[in-house]
Amino acid sequence: MTLTSTDLLLEATGISKTYGAVVALRSASLAVRPGEVHALMGANGAGKSTLLKILTGAVRPDGGTITVRGRQRTVHSPAEARRGGIVSVYQEPALIPDLDIRSNLRLTETPIEPFRHWLNELGIEDLDLSSIARRVPLASLRIIDLARAMAIEPDVLMLDEITAALPANLTERVLAAVGRERGGDRSVIFISHRMIEIAAVCDRATVLREGRTVGVVDVTQGSEERIVELMLGQIVEDMPAAAERTSDGAKASGSTPRLTARGLSSSERLNDVSFDLQPGEVLGVVALEGQGQDELFDILAGSQRPSGGELLVDGSPVSFRHPADAIRAGLVYVAADRAEALLMQRSVRENIALPFTTRIRQWGLIDLASEGRAVDAAVAKLQIDTRAGSEVRRLSGGNQQKVTIARWVAGGVHTMLCFDPTRGIDIRTKQQIYLLLRDLAEAGAGVLLYTSELKEVQLACDRAIVIFGGRVVAEIDVAEADEPALLRAAYNLRVDAPLPEDVAGEAVAEVVAAAQGSTGAGAEGARALPVSER
């Protein structure tokens, strides 16, 4: 079938957007046909969310054109996009927390009956419309948000990670409902990190990388390879091989662990986590989204108190009431979210020197000379470009992340907790960070590294523990920690089980096939490739 541009429901070309120094989109394009479920793919920071926001009018693009049913449009606000038939369901539900569900429906002028219909369809039957949104669990809110969007039957429905944080039974229902949209004259733009879902419900996929559209792929059997290839682009290659480090493990054993966790638990997310972190070791933590790793790091960093279990630093038990306690015990924390870690309006120097002045006896006059030496050394070690250093917010993302690490390097590292430190930064900086973590370990520090990119494990770690459902389910030596092995473990599958992609794929395929009856083509396409979650 040949398509002229007027056959397209939605077409965006050459979209660009810059936030200060950060280029979110360089030249993104997207063409959606009527009746298709179109996947929007890309690694973290590729620009998916920005493109989505531009299409719904939440953000104005710097350049590019958007055409809806062949007519060029400028969308100024979500309200306008909604009237034009474009509706988005975001990762954070757009329900007003202090209004009840009925008022939320009135606010978006959503008819109640279709809403109820879709709600039932999506697996929630007994919703009290007068319950306050704040009191409704997150998973239900996302379903409500989705039902509300579907109830007004938009031409283009955009779903951003709709299945994240949903329990399995609701995920089934959602995928089935999305799948049924195929073949009509309306379309769905589907963003997900889960390949199996893409394979199950999508017709085509547009792949973004570093703010550009790098390819459009028909989703068929085997197309996942191509998608992954496009998403990753140039693969990190010239990194120190893992094999040459395996012998280092020997020097660690026998000494007191830097950090020992014994049966740590926290409310519902974290059930029982135990591990030892040896000096001179980079210990990887691998987990799918939301398996308790956030809580684990919060506990280790002193932001949250565990409900059970024991924590030992250098063999002696500790308990933290405040991050300051953890820091004093030598546990320093590098967050993934730079907005959480940096003083955006202050200088690089002040950001790096921040931990030097936090204790009351450090409140007096600052020894500028010695502070300067420590900061300069850290800046040099991390190769931070300080040309725009008078305000950290003017630095690039990679440089900002380096500042958050330099803050701790400047004071000397005993044990470093890194929570996905390479999220959304460029490959060169990533490499520098891996090397730095190795250096720290060589110098005797212990490093705990959670990473959402499974590849990083072999590049930076000595061994890895895998957390699933709040428990450590596997410990893998770096030599065996290739992606398939990690993924298998992350899904909590036995080592001798079939390849995880097959199992996971089959699981979803069954679900989709069951939900769609015999009409769906989902089962055919439901083969997933091992791609890291987030």
How many residues does this entry show for the chain?
534
Q: Around Cβ 180, how many Cβ atoms within 10 Å?
A: 16
Cβ-based nearer residue to other proteins, 138 or 324: 324
Number of C-beta neighbours around residue 58 at 10 A:
18
97 Cβ neighbours under 8 A, 6+ residues apart: 132, 133, 134
**Spatial distance between the Cα atoms of 462 and 466, rounded to a whole number of angstroms:** 14
CA distances from 236 to 286, 434, 438, 440 (A): 19, 11, 16, 21
Give me the sign of the Cα torsion angle 403, 406, 407, 410: negative
Cβ closer to other proteins: 180 or 394? 394
Contacts 24+ apart (CB under 8 A), 160-163: 160/48, 160/49, 160/52, 160/88, 160/89, 160/90, 160/91, 160/191, 161/91, 161/191, 161/192, 161/193, 162/89, 162/190, 162/192, 163/192, 163/194, 163/197
Instruction: Report the relative pairing of strands 156-160 and 86-89 from DSSP bridges.
Output: parallel
Cβ closer to other proteins: 310 or 350? 350
Nearer to other proteins, 27 or 362 (CB): 362
Which lies closer to other proteins via its Cβ, residue 87 or residue 486?
87
Shortest reach from residue 333's CB to other proteins, in Å: 6
Closest CA to 481 of 502, 494, 464: 464
Shortest CB 133 distance to other proteins, Å? 9
The residues of the shown chain that bind other proteins, judged by CB under 8 A, are 19-20, 56, 58, 77-79, 82, 88, 90, 92-100, 102-104, 106-109, 129-130, 132, 301, 303, 322-324, 327-328, 333, 335, 339-346, 350, 353-360, 362-366, 368, 390, 393, 407
Rank residues 324 and 499 by Cβ distance to other proteins and give the closer one: 324
If the CB atoms of residues 251 and 387 are measured against other proteins, the closer one turns out to be 387
Residues facing 332 on adjacent strands: 416
Residue 405 is given by DSSP the state: H
For the bound state, the minimum distance from the C-beta of residue 120 to other proteins, rounded and expressed in Å, comes to: 16
Tell me whether residue 97 or residue 167 sits nearer to other proteins (CB atom).
Answer: 97
Q: Give min distance, CB of 312 to other proteins, in A.
A: 21
The smaller minimum CB distance to other proteins, of residues 67 and 356, is found at 356
CB of 355 to other proteins, least distance (A): 5
Q: How far apart are CA 81 and CA 91, in angstroms?
A: 18
What backbone phi and psi angles, to 5 degrees, belong to 191? -105, 125
